[in-house]
């Protein structure tokens, strides 16, 4: 049965020309007159149009250029249009494909849709209808590309977050290892040089390592200690007044010892300043990494050298006196308290009291900067000044860790600067071991506010991605004009519901409806009123939908209603109700109220009397044919054709 295609008139699309100027359409058609028509039409809409008359020519163009949408003739001189759709799916899956055909079977339609075709249109196709399909296809491609972009942005944000976390973790680990190593282990070699690179002081390990006396070593230059291949490194080790030279970090080299053996060493150099903040030299630490033994015995660095390491750390380091807290915990242990988590939960004021007894006794430059102090003295004393309400929950966990005997602990918490500005931080503490001579615990504080911001941005991107995915899912299954399900969604559910009905031995009914004389309506009143009556009829069908029913626009002015667990008798009653409701429906126009009627065909699979869903469509369509032939505005079923005709049709289905 020939069906009229319908869509908005051309003038309704002019508002979208500006947006479509960025799109490229490839028309793959061997009919030159149709190619010229399509090319002129879509060029007038602002699209970039290219043409190909054969499948091979189209593949060549696709290999050399990115196209947003393809209009593919089903029958090409050198290949089947379905084959080209499959090639596009494998090689350019984001490109939208639309099949144009002078004829089509259910199998062709299903195959094209399963291979990724956006739509399957029957020639002759009205340009307005085709333009709607093209606009919907390009809108779908736009959302797909936006979706990919968001995924890429999420991946970049994830990598950036991971890199920042790794960087912060590595910095914290290096700072902690450097301080702990210098604090607990003596370095192999220490020597001080002036701004000319001359050695002015050294330790005993330096004389043993280089095999000479302190007097002779003090008469040497850095170039006397290292071979010429390390000239560039030595140049960096010489301190300069501008502070650029004299700073070397973690340089690993091979050095010849006094006994002639070769040792692998790590060199670190730090600047020394006088009271006027003038560069006077550099302290170089040469650590023997060949055998890291007896480190505690070699820990003889002076307070000045300790201060150098402490002050040059890149993260905030705070030395804290927690003796009062330690004494309080010992008293509680003597009283029989051993479940510290339970004690902290029932005594929330304990953390607040502890914050007033724990005192910062030293803080490095990075810590002063982090908490926005002007001098070290601004930040010394009880630590409760840096706490906000949410800080005390973290402090409670830290106290539990200390009471439980943990030597190290890490906790993310919110602190505040002296000006009351909140900062997200990672707090790590190192508690002295029980027999250590050290009494204070060392706490490092890293500002992770930037990481928190990245995490929030990541959550926002995930929310946007979820929203776009929902839009894409809705667009993929909805007809743009009627807001009913589209042809593709209906076909997918037809197969599923048919299999379900067969498996459970339940009835499955199908109604096919067609607006009577719709082409004449369009020709008489115009496509804009045609669109409106289509929408109103679709509204009638949609309002009749039960929970499990599928109501869809099948194409043009045809609609389908798939009715699970519904017998033919019930389907016919519903069809008649729909016919009457449509007959009562009218739209206003300058010519007065306009009405249309519909013809409906019905059929039901019952007792597994059909082999496949295609035959359910065929039998329902035969009912529609009977309704049209019988005068239109009717509801008919193939069963009403008489036993002989009905049995003949069934015989053709099961044998053919």
**Predicted confidence (pLDDT) per residue in 205-255, tens digit:** 888 888 888 888 888 888 888 877 888 888 888 888 888 887 888 888 888
Separation between Cα atoms, residue 347 and residue 341, nearest integer Å: 10
pLDDT digits (tens, 9 = 90+) for 391-422: 888 888 999 989 888 889 898 899 999 998 98
Query: Quick count: other Cβ atoms within 10 Å of Cβ 231?
Result: 10
Question: Does 379 score more than 70 pLDDT?
Answer: yes
Judge contact between 182 and 486, C-beta under 8 A.
no
Query: Which pLDDT belongs to residue 174?
Result: 74
Higher-pLDDT residue of 512, 181: 512
Q: Which of 91-100, 336-345, 367-376, 634-643 has the lowest mean pLDDT?
A: 634-643
Going by their DSSP bridges, the two strands 316-321 and 359-363 should be labelled as antiparallel
Query: What sign does the dihedral 581-582-583-586 (CA atoms) show?
Result: positive
Q: Please list the alpha-helical segments (H only) found in 478-512.
A: 487-504
User: Which token pair is 510?
Assistant: 């199908």
The model's confidence at residue 2, banded by pLDDT at 50, 70 and 90, is very low
Query: Which pLDDT belongs to residue 456?
Result: 78
Residue written as tokens 């070290």?
376
Separation between Cα atoms, residue 446 and residue 424, nearest integer Å: 8
pLDDT digits (tens, 9 = 90+) for 509-541: 999 999 999 999 999 999 999 999 999 999 999
The model's confidence at residue 172, banded by pLDDT at 50, 70 and 90, is low
Judge contact between 100 and 125, C-beta under 8 A.
yes
| CA torsion angle 171 173 179 181 (round to 10) | -140
User: Which token pair is 334?
Assistant: 């003597």
Residue written as tokens 């369509």?
621
Largest CA distance in the chain: 124
558 noted as active-site residue: no
Domains (range + CATH), the chain = 10-125 (3.40.50.2300), 186-298 (3.30.450.20), 316-449 (3.30.450.20), 478-655 (3.30.70.270)
Coil, strand or helix at 464: helix
Exposure of 641 by Cβ count < 10 A (0-12 exposed, 13-18 middle, 19+ buried)?
middle
Judge contact between 344 and 396, C-beta under 8 A.
yes
From the candidates 557, 591, 615, 644, give the one annotated as an active-site residue: 557
Q: Backbone dihedral region of 170: left (phi > 0), alpha (psi from -120 to 50 degrees) or beta?
A: alpha
Query: Quick count: other Cβ atoms within 10 Å of Cβ 583?
Result: 14
Higher-pLDDT residue of 173, 380: 380
Q: What is the pTM of this model?
A: 0.37
Judge contact between 571 and 507, C-beta under 8 A.
no
As a whole number, mean pLDDT of residues 539-566 equals 94
Average pLDDT, the chain: 85
């Amino acid at each position: 049965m020939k069906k009229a295609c319908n869509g908005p008139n051309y003038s309704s699309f002019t508002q979208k020309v500006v947006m479509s100027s960025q799109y490229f359409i490839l028309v793959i058609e061997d009919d030159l007159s149709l190619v010229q028509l399509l090319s002129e039409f879509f060029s007038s809409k602002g699209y970039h149009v290219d043409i190909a008359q054969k499948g091979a020519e189209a593949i060549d163009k696709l290999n050399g250029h990115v196209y947003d949408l393809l209009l593919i003739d089903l029958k090409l001189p050198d290949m089947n249009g379905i084959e080209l759709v499959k090639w596009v799916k494998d090689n350019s899956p984001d490109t939208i494909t639309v099949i144009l055909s002078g004829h089509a079977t259910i199998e062709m339609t299903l195959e094209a849709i399963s291979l990724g075709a956006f739509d399957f249109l029957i020639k002759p196709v009205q340009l307005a209808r085709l333009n709607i399909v093209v606009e919907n296809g390009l809108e779908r491609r736009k959302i797909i590309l936006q979706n990919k972009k968001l995924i890429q942005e999420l991946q970049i944000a994830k990598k950036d977050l991971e890199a920042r976390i790794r960087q912060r973790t590595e910095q914290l680990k290096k700072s902690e290892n450097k301080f702990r190593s210098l604090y607990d282990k003596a370095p192999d070699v220490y020597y001080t040089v002036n701004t000319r690179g001359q050695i002015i002081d050294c330790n005993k390990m330096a004389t043993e390592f280089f095999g000479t006396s302190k007097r002779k070593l003090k008469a040497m230059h850095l170039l006397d200690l290292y071979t010429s291949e390390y000239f560039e490194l030595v140049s960096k080790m010489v301190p300069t007044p501008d502070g650029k030279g004299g700073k070397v970090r973690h340089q690993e080299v091979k050095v010849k010892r006094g006994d002639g053996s070769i040792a692998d060493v790590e060199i670190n150099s730090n600047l020394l300043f006088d009271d006027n903040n003038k560069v006077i030299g550099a302290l170089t630490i040469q650590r023997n990494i060949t055998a890291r033994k007896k480190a505690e015995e070699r820990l003889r660095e002076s307070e000045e050298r300790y201060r150098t390491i402490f002050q040059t750390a890149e993260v905030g380091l705070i030395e804290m006196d927690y003796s009062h807290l330690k004494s309080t915990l010992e008293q509680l242990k003597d009283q029989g308290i051993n479940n510290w988590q339970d004690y902290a939960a029932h005594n929330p004021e304990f953390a607040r009291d502890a914050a007033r007894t724990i005192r910062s006794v030293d803080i490095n430059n990075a810590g002063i900067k982090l908490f926005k102090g002007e001098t070290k003295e601004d930040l010394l004393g009880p630590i409760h000044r840096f706490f906000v309400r949410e800080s005390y929950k973290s402090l409670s966990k830290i106290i539990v860790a200390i009471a439980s005997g943990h030597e190290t602990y890490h906790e993310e918490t919110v602190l505040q600067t002296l000006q009351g500005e909140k900062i997200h931080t990672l707090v790590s503490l190192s508690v002295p071991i029980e027999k250590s001579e050290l009494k204070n615990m060392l706490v490092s504080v890293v500002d992770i506010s930037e990481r928190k911001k990245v995490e929030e941005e990541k959550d926002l991107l995930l929310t946007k991605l979820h929203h776009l995915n929902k839009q894409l899912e809705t667009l993929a299954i909805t007809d743009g004009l009627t807001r009913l399900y589209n042809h593709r969604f209906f076909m997918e559910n037809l197969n599923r519901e048919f299999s379900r009905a067969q498996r459970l031995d339940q009835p499955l009914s199908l109604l096919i409806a067609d607006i009577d004389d719709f082409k004449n309506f369009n020709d008489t009143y115009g496509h804009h009123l045609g669109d409106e009556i289509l929408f109103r009829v679709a509204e009638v069908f949609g309002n009749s939908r039960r929970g499990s029913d599928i109501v869809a626009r099948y194409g043009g002015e045809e609609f389908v209603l798939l009715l699970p667990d519904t017998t033919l008798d019930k389907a016919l009653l519903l069809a008649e109700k729909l016919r009457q409701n449509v007959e009562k429906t009218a739209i206003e126009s300058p010519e007065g109220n306009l009405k249309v009627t519909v013809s409906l065909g019905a059929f039901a699979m019952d007792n597994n009397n059909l082999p496949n869903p295609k035959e359910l469509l065929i039998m329902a369509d035969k009912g529609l044919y009977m309704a049209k032939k019988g005068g239109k505005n009717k509801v008919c079923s193939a069963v009403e054709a008489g036993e002989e005709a009905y049995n003949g049709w069934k015989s053709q289905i099961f044998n053919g």
